Amino acid sequence: MDDLIVQFLSGNITPEDQQELEKWIDASPGNREYFIQLRDAWMATAATGPYNAEAAWEEMRQVNAPVSVKRWKQVLKMAASYTLPFVLGGGVVFSWLTLKKGQGDQGVVTVTSPKGATTKIELSDGTEVWLNAGSKLEYASSFNTAGREVKLEGEAFFKVHTDSRKPFTVKASDLRILALGTSFNVKAYPEDKGVVTTLVDGAVRIDGSSTANPFKIMLKPHQHVVYKQTTEAPAAGKNTSSHAAAPAPVETKEVSNTDIYTAWKDGNWIVTGQTLEEMAVTMERRFNVNVDFKEDELKNYRFSGTFRQETLEQVLNILKLTAPLDYRIEEGTVTISVDKVLKEKYANALRNGK
């Protein structure tokens, strides 16, 4: 089991071996505790960058030795905020978790969910976080000691553990989203140039004090807020009247079905009137591919529907039922082109009223 744990922590474990490891961890509280201790020691001794399994394992053996009790206590104290970056038996894909060491025992923990994968973690305060594909979450190794703050790039769903003494804060782009006990979704991919927040239950406050057009909004359940980044705030001493007069780049609306924005955490994908071009962005993240359109006319076809854990090919075949497209998948690239036969068939059906 020691070998399987090292393979898992280094990201080199096979699906079959991971299943065996999960069964062993679930077999007894002692097994789970042993795994957690080795995981914490691994993270406390790991350097940034690719892992060296043999070197890290040797460091763990030294840290765990009886002569290193003082250092071992320091390791456990530092590792108190680390989280398990996968769900045992839940089918959630392993994510990379690294520690960037700083002064003393302080450091920044980074959880990365690669494209083509989603990740669930549980923070030391009991807060559950689902990370969507191509997302990154950062927090201090001292998380939950004096405060609870995380930094998000990408998309995440948060189920925050209530602690009125320590508000939970998400830093996303140039916004700060504060919550106590609540469930909400934040989408903040850097390339999207904005932040989308959807509140499922509870209450959150969006603080845009550091934006070009400062604003603050208190959300109620089933509210959906879209913030779009504008030009940067003017330098000190320059005329700010034009910026002060401009409205905050924020749109707020009520949504009856928040699953549209949160279904991804359960492996589903709900599409509501999106163009194929918009869907291609999600497709690239969800399946870790590049999407290439041979003809621009296909980009404007709109779709609505729900994909329930379908594969990439299943999604494309479903889209073919309503759009005259053909596709080819080669070396991580999906090439989408017009299927002229289907296009003529659909045109004839429309002309004949069928």
The region that residue 162 occupies, defined by phi over 0 for left and psi between -120 and 50 for alpha, beta otherwise, is beta
pLDDT at 194 over 60: yes
C-alpha to C-alpha distance for 112 and 166, rounded to whole angstroms: 25
Mean pLDDT, rounded, for 290-296: 95
> Phi and psi dihedrals of 310, rounded to 5?
-70, 155
Query: Would you call 205 helix, strand, or coil by DSSP?
Result: strand
Please give the share of the chain, as a percent, with pLDDT higher than 90.
37
> Who has greater pLDDT, 329 or 45?
329
User: What local confidence, expressed as pLDDT, does residue 332 receive?
Assistant: 87
User: Global pTM?
Assistant: 0.69
pLDDT at 164: 83
- pLDDT over 90 at 151, yes or no: yes
* Least confident among 10-19, 97-106, 338-347: 97-106
Burial class (CB in 10 A: 0-12, 13-18, 19+), 65: exposed
100 or 23: whose pLDDT is higher? 23
More confident residue, 123 or 19: 123
* pLDDT band per the 50, 70, 90 thresholds, residue 184: very high
